[in-house]
Amino acid sequence: MAGRPKIFDEQEAVAKATEVFKDKGYDTASADELLCAMGIGKGSFYLAFKGGKQELYIRSIRQFSDSFYQKFSGSLAVSDDPIQFIKEFFLSLADASDCDKERGCYLGNALVQLSEKDHEIKKITAQLLKKLQTLFSETIRNAQKSGQITSSEDPEMIGWHLSNLWNGIHVTRRMESSPEILRSILKMNLKILD
């Protein structure tokens, strides 16, 4: 017997659960809050997410990661000035009062909070950091070839520098909320793109 068919959109349900995880964090998000946000009952939930809350969270991280990367890489690809786009992306992190897809802080927070506790989350966030590093490196290499930037640093290392900056600023934002200080830190790190 195959069981009852699903009558809800899993991607949409995961996106709704992501909002709860972003607001509450993994540990404090209750099953009732998640089910309410997703608009499904316990039976449907455990049919779709056999691993329970942990499987839902991992799916949330993976779906958010894919969405963030697609949006970021797509916007970068159509940008008239990819280097300026990268600078503006980073500088926008100083003013971010909330977590959204454009900035990816949900992923940064997951990396900081849970990657050492959960191998699957660590793997997902590490894959994202590597994809970002590769994207940054390709952009830097092209900008060096065209003379848009004068830095002669290895594009691979600049890519790692930028992915480390993206990751690190999420940690710093937990201790320092001043947009001015955060912007100064970011500007100092972004001088490598001049």
The length of the chain in residues reads: 194
Give the pLDDT means over successive 10-residue stretches in the chain (194 positions).
64 93 87 93 89 91 90 95 96 73 61 70 84 96 95 95 90 85 96 94
Give the model confidence (pLDDT) of 129-163 as tens digits: 899 999 999 999 999 999 999 999 999 999 999 99
Q: What pLDDT, on the 0 to 100 scale, is given for residue 11?
A: 92
Q: What is the dihedral of CA 168, 169, 174, 175, to 10 degrees?
A: 90
Q: What pLDDT, on the 0 to 100 scale, is given for residue 88?
A: 95
Q: What pLDDT, on the 0 to 100 scale, is given for residue 141?
A: 97
Rounded to whole angstroms, the Cα distance separating 16 from 1 reads: 30
Sequence-ordered list of residues with C-beta below 8 angstroms from that of 94, at least 6 positions apart, any chain? 179, 180, 182, 183, 186
Q: What pLDDT, on the 0 to 100 scale, is given for residue 77?
A: 96
Q: What pLDDT, on the 0 to 100 scale, is given for residue 162?
A: 96
Sequence-ordered list of residues with C-beta below 8 angstroms from that of 133, at least 6 positions apart, any chain? 156, 159, 160, 162, 163
pTM of the predicted protein model? 0.81
CA angle 62, 131, 51 (to 5 degrees): 20
| Contact between 60 and 66 (Cβ < 8 Å) | no
Q: What pLDDT, on the 0 to 100 scale, is given for residue 100?
A: 47
Q: What pLDDT, on the 0 to 100 scale, is given for residue 17?
A: 95
Q: What pLDDT, on the 0 to 100 scale, is given for residue 105?
A: 67
Q: What pLDDT, on the 0 to 100 scale, is given for residue 163?
A: 92
